């Protein structure tokens, strides 16, 4: 996984033995399809056993075999495929803050949101920042605490940590250093509505702008006065990601296609939105994904999957095993996310 997903990187990963390259942050919808790759590998190996492995392009796939061995046989003996290991920590490296999306604007985008990869970071748009400023203003100097700000802002999905982070940024860039009260070790507190705050520690201070310093929110510059007069709106929401790579890679793309390993796109695998396990197992039997279109960065698979491989008893067993495992695994994952 990487937060960069240009074709060159993907190619390197694949050549190094990766089975599938995923762009971070991972979303559950992409994860749902992972089991198919495991199953396919299993099926492939079953076939290999029966027909002998020295047959064709064994060399070319050396790394690929190793990958399979480590990640499947090992964990089969564990019988939990490693899911119990640091289960809480492991949970997909699916970090809360990273997948959150904040839309306090238009409402009709729920459907669309299912397909759009969440942004990695909260973007403090001018609109968001205005709410922040409003809250901070209302609270006043000495009472600007993330929790209170968060409440006043009343933005669904926004977290206290994010507010705290933003507050910190504003204080750093904006606060005159002279106003910084020292931060001594201990101190008995007595005043204020916040009983546990030391007087000396500079809690809840109002974000101030240093004279001459620049602070940007979204792409607006803010000065000490009237932070509200900006109308840029949110224009540049999500552009980047489509361009930004300098590699011309039709050949690379073709390699990926012909190697048959990678099917990934900006929007996740789009073969089956309903995620039906039974039909997905069938789908697994085919390694002939139909490639419909691609750009420099992505390969998109089509909706139709051809069932070209015959089913045999051995394969069926393998399929059922994997099916059961991934069913529960994904169920668990879904629950926690």
Partner DNA sequence: CATCGAATAT
Partner DNA sequence: GATATTCGAT
Identified binder of DNA from the candidate list 145, 206, 294, 326, rule CB under 7 A: 145
Q: Choose between 12 and 121: whose C-beta lies nearer to DNA.
A: 121
- Preceding amide of 67 cis, omega within 30: no
Q: Choose between 182 and 313: whose C-beta lies nearer to DNA.
A: 182
Evaluate whether 48 touches 57 at the Cβ level (below 8 Å). no
Map the footprint of DNA across residues 171-200, applying CB under 7 A: 171-173, 183-187, 189, 196-198
Phi/psi of residue 103, nearest 5 degrees = -130, 110
Residue 89 burial (10 A CB sphere; 0-12, 13-18, 19+): exposed
Q: Choose between 44 and 160: whose C-beta lies nearer to DNA.
A: 160
To DNA, the closest distance from the beta carbon of 72 in angstroms equals 29
Residue 233 Ramachandran class (φ > 0 left, ψ -120 to 50 alpha, else beta): left
To DNA, the closest distance from the beta carbon of 225 in angstroms equals 18
- Tell me which long-range contacts 95-103 makes (C-beta under 8 A, separation of at least 24): 95/25, 96/159, 97/122, 97/159, 97/161, 97/162, 98/24, 98/25, 99/25, 99/27, 100/157, 100/159, 101/157, 102/128, 102/155, 102/156, 102/157, 102/158, 103/157
Map the footprint of DNA across residues 83-122, applying CB under 7 A: 95-98, 100, 120-122
Map the footprint of DNA across residues 214-233, applying CB under 7 A: 215-218
Q: Choose between 9 and 257: whose C-beta lies nearer to DNA.
A: 9
Identified binder of DNA from the candidate list 2, 84, 90, 168, rule CB under 7 A: 168
To DNA, the closest distance from the beta carbon of 125 in angstroms equals 8
Identified binder of DNA from the candidate list 28, 116, 152, 202, rule CB under 7 A: 202
Binding-site ranges for DNA (CB under 7 A):
95-98, 100, 120-124, 144-148, 160-162, 164-169, 171-173, 183-187, 189, 196-198, 201-205, 215-218
């Amino acid at each position: 996984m990487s937060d960069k997903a240009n074709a060159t990187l993907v190619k390197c990963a694949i050549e190094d033995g990766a089975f599938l390259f995923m762009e971070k942050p991972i979303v559950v919808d992409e994860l749902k399809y992972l089991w198919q790759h495991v199953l396919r590998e299993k099926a492939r190996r079953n076939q290999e056993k029966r027909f002998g492995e020295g047959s064709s392009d064994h060399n070319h796939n050396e790394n690929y075999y190793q990958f399979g061995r480590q990640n499947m046989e090992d964990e089969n003996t564990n019988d939990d495929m490693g899911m119990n290991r640091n289960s809480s920590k492991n949970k997909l490296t699916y970090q809360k803050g990273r997948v959150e999306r904040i839309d306090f604007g238009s409402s009709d985008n729920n459907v669309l949101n299912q397909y759009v990869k969440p942004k990695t970071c909260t973007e403090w748009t001018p609109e968001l920042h205005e709410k922040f400023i409003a809250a901070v203003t209302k609270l006043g100097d000495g009472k600007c605490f993330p929790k209170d700000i968060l409440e006043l802002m009343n933005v669904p999905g926004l977290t206290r940590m994010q507010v705290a982070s933003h507050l910190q940024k504003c204080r750093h860039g904006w606060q005159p250093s002279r106003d910084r009260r020292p931060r001594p070790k201990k101190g008995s507190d007595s005043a204020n509505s916040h009983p546990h705050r030391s007087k000396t520690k500079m809690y809840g201070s109002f974000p101030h702008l240093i004279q001459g310093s620049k602070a940007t929110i979204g792409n607006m510059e803010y000065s000490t006065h009237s932070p509200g007069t900006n109308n840029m709106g949110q224009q540049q929401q999500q552009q980047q990601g489509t361009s930004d790579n300098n590699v011309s890679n039709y050949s690379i793309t073709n390699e990926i296609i012909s190697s048959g390993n990678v099917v990934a796109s900006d929007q996740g695998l789009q073969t089956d939105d309903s995620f039906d396990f039974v039909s997905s197992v069938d789908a697994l039997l085919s390694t002939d994904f139909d490639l419909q279109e691609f750009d420099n960065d992505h390969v998109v698979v089509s909706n139709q999957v051809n069932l070209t491989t015959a089913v045999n008893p051995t394969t069926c067993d393998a399929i059922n095993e994997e099916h059961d495992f991934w069913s529960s695994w994904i169920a668990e994952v879904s629950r926690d996310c």
